[in-house]
Structure 1
């Protein structure tokens, strides 16, 4: 695949989590999260994007979100559970994207806030004005996703490289 091939990064924040007496990493989804995750999966399926790879945080709420969302997709991508997505800084998230093999055209990242929102903002050098307005107004609530497109190698992903083309939140 040429590095000039348009690529897509989809950033999905985990669905609403519960607050039981467990470590933050082990928090499960709340009832609302268990309803919203499959809805997010159906909305992702509606985009027509066929993901080549999914990177998912190892936290319980992200794994559960992914399990419920991927069941709604027509094609299950290869999934890598990545410890470094949990509590990742913007620099760490960009470094993870830079490690993506160039055979991957469409990447889905299932992670946490503030990371998913900060990454979407940082990568979006351009944006459809309506999409940007919705993301700015809503922030990045649970079970939300943003789609960014860019051209080039994954090693070239940096601030402003992408165009924000889609944004969806379950309770807008």
Structure 2
């Protein structure tokens, strides 16, 4: 059995004249990341590893989960391939995960996150909003063999604000 936690980065700011990759979180994004990470931290066992896009907004979102889930920073890996909007690199990163890992947390971007959730989960989500949190279980022993899994949990900031 494989478990995937997939989180879209929190609401980012367009206030500064920065490259897309460098944009920080808005105050609302910071508040949502704090809220969601605290809300979900007691619901599941910690993932064995965390993969995060190198974009500033995903790193900042992940930091809230690292802190509030008390995740081991040595098991957090930043991947430029997850700065992906099409979803192809996201799928590749999941399918290339070492099979000794049974639970994986990923911080990424839309369209990739929503497409992944709808392709591999069994519950349709029109749009995974910023800081959306979805958990999918896969009844396989190899990440390379994931197909349709079971969406066991989802929560979005507006549902718990």
Summarize the alignment of residues 144-155 of structure 1 with structure 2, pairs less than 5 Å apart. 144-152=132-140, 153-155=142-144
Q: Which residue of 2 aligns with 1:122?
A: 119
Cα distance in 2 between the residues matched to 1:74 and 1:122: 30
Moved segments of 4+, more than 4 Å: none
SS state at 2:158 partner: coil
Cα distance in 2 between the residues matched to 1:105 and 1:142: 26
Q: Is the 8 A contact 1:120 1:146 kept in 2?
A: yes
Cα distance in 1 between the residues matched to 2:92 and 2:84: 14
Structure 1 spans left out of the alignment, 5+ residues: 1-5
2:145 counterpart of 1:156: yes
Cα distance in 2 between the residues matched to 1:32 and 1:88: 22
Q: Is the 8 A contact 1:94 1:157 kept in 2?
A: no
Q: Is the 8 A contact 1:11 1:111 kept in 2?
A: yes
Question: How far is 1:50 from its partner?
Answer: 1.6
Cα distance in 2 between the residues matched to 1:106 and 1:151: 12
Q: Is the 8 A contact 2:134 2:151 kept in 1?
A: yes
Question: How far is 1:145 from its partner?
Answer: 0.9
May I ask how many residue pairs the two structures share in their alignment? 156
- TM-score normalised by structure 1 residue count: 0.85
Q: Is the 8 A contact 2:85 2:110 kept in 1?
A: no
Deviates more, 1:141-150 or 1:80-89: 80-89
Cα distance in 2 between the residues matched to 1:75 and 1:58: 18
Structure 2 spans left out of the alignment, 5+ residues: none
Cα distance in 2 between the residues matched to 1:88 and 1:114: 5
- TM-score normalised by structure 2 residue count: 0.90
After superposition, the CA RMSD in angstroms is: 1.5
